[in-house]
Amino acid sequence: MLRLCRVLERLHACTEASASNRHWTRVAELSVRFSSTKAAPRFRRMDYQDAVCTLNTLQTNASALEQVKRERGHPQLQLQAMRGFLQRAGLKVEELDRLNIIHVTGTKGKGSTCAFTEQILRKYGFRTGFYSSPHLVQVRERIRINGLPIGKELFTKYFWQVYGRLEETKDAQISSMPAYFRFLTILAFHVFLQEKVDLAVIEVGIGGAYDCTNIIRRPWVCGISSLGIDHTSILGDTIEKIAWQKGGIFKLGVPAFTVKQPDGPMKVLQERAEEIGCSLSVCPDLEEYESEGSLSLGLTGHHQRSNASLALQLSHTWLQRHFLTDPASSSPVEFSGVSSAPVIQPSPAMIKGLAETEWPGRNQTLQHSPVTYFLDGAHTTRSMLACVRWFNEVTPQHERNAGGSVVRVLLFNATGERDCAAMLKLLVPCHFDFAVFCPNITEAIATCNADQQNFNVSVENMLSRCLDNQQSWRVLNGQEEKPEAELLIRGGLPLVAERHTDTLVFPCILSALQWISQGRDSVLSDPNKCVIPVKPSINTKAAPLREAVSIHVLITGSLHLVGGALKHLDPSLNS
């Protein structure tokens, strides 16, 4: 697989002067061609990079894509297939009961809720497992032991164990391999069992009822964070349909908690709890908890307060069951209507856990004087509303501290079926001096960073989406469109597509960050980082960036964009 990476690196590096976007499409096509699961064992070297490259072949596995198409109309088949893959990997569904699982879903805030919960229980001295998605910089981030991504050696060891078992069980009738997310879910279960964690916090991927994590039979407690509209082609086009999917993680007799929801989805959750036969409680506001002084949170943003309240209820309920003499004999909690969750008094461990929780890429601020980066992976209209509120709360103090002129820059991208125009409309009142758009490509010249490769979308498609976002921004700001957009090229590489002086489109995250920072961020000025040449006319437009006392950059619209930015802005995440 290292050969694959070298081929791709040469393909990206040898772009000729006559190249156009068709060349980038060709690169994407060749990427897929070289990424067959049959070829993977031939080049296996059993090292971390090879494991990740092999994992990436599951993104474009033809049989897996056909399998997804077949199952789309019969979602119950997804869980049936997942059980089959789990068994082929040498695991039994019954074994997952030993993980003492906390299962969490929701549209917005489920990752933060899991992070709070895991940190609280770790403060009690428990050995924790934590499975989440997506990853920001390295795929190992999805599978954590005691709050830390598993090491490269451990990932490699367990990856080949699971991959080998699945490969060995392929035959004429069973020739498929699990798709990317399914494989990682199986791998997480295997890691947690082998590493003998005391509990596992499991974040749902998409939805709940038919998500592959829902093969869990007996979680100790379930949680649902704030609901909203997302993944409509899979979950449904109304918040009520989405609530039905999310409520699918409820289990008979297992206590479930949710934050305050609108009446429609709350009614659906109530019906699901009654149908399945479990209790359902609504968490109180964080201000209601009996604590000396206000509770301090390690994650900023007002919306994190409901996530913290949900985490307190999940961890409190888990602890109640854990300290029973015989947890297995605890009486199931049946449905008796939706109730208010108890207002508990947080313990010192809970208070410390909430205060020390870290969850990169969500309401995160990085200060690289004179450039300050505000990163939030908001990717729905509701989460973008929360992002804008957070940005408007934290920037005034930073601007006062600057002691001079400040230039505001938006770096944006969004993927999939998301309504980019609706999200961009929410960002207009933030009054950015520049709006910069780029695809979720970390750098245009490949460095074989397999952790962030995505073969499911062509480069041409990604760049086209950026141009659409640029045009949406212009329309929202009342700017007239030029008759034709000029593609500005130097040395044959499509660098910047321009339609107005305050909006720019770059081919990768690194080129966008380097232009925004104008050499004023020492991390991005590292001689080991490739500097892509930009035409003089584009550098002229950057005069305000060079002259300002401070540059404030909001990076949002996609967790993948935020992850790609963090790869360059926080070198410690690459180790």
**Token pair listed for 369:** 């004087």
Q: How much is the mean pLDDT over the chain?
A: 84
Mean pLDDT calculated for residue range 165-189 = 88
Q: What is the C-alpha to C-alpha distance for residues 243 and 223, in angstroms, rounded to an integer? A: 13
203 labelled ligand-binding: yes
pLDDT at 483 over 50: no
pLDDT at 103 over 60: yes
How is domain 48-356 classified at the CATH fold level? UDP-N-acetylmuramoyl-L-alanine:D-glutamate ligase (3.40.1190)
**Token pair listed for 418:** 């998301």
Q: pLDDT of 41-93, one tens digit each?
A: 444 457 999 999 999 989 854 454 455 555 656 777 889 999 999 999 999 99
* CATH 3.90.190.20, the chain: domain bounds: 364-479+499-574
231 labelled ligand-binding: yes
Which of 15-29, 87-101, 289-303 reaches the highest mean pLDDT? 87-101
Domain over 364-479+499-574 is classified CATH 3.90.190.20:
yes
Q: What is the pLDDT of residue 90?
A: 96
198 labelled ligand-binding: no
Q: Which of 69-73, 195-199, 281-285, 392-396 comes out lowest in average pLDDT?
A: 69-73
> pTM for this structure?
0.85
Q: Is 87:163 a contact under the CB 8 Å cutoff? A: no
* Beta strand segments in 180-258, E: 199-203, 221-224, 256-258
- Give the pLDDT band (50/70/90) at residue 502: confident
- Rounded (5°) CA angle 3-514-53: 20
Q: pLDDT of 322-376, one tens digit each?
A: 987 666 666 777 777 789 999 999 999 999 999 999 999 999 999 999 999 999 9
| DSSP per-residue codes, 389-430 | HHHHHHHHHHHHHH-S-EEEEEEE---TT--HHHHHHHHGGG
pLDDT at 175 over 80: no
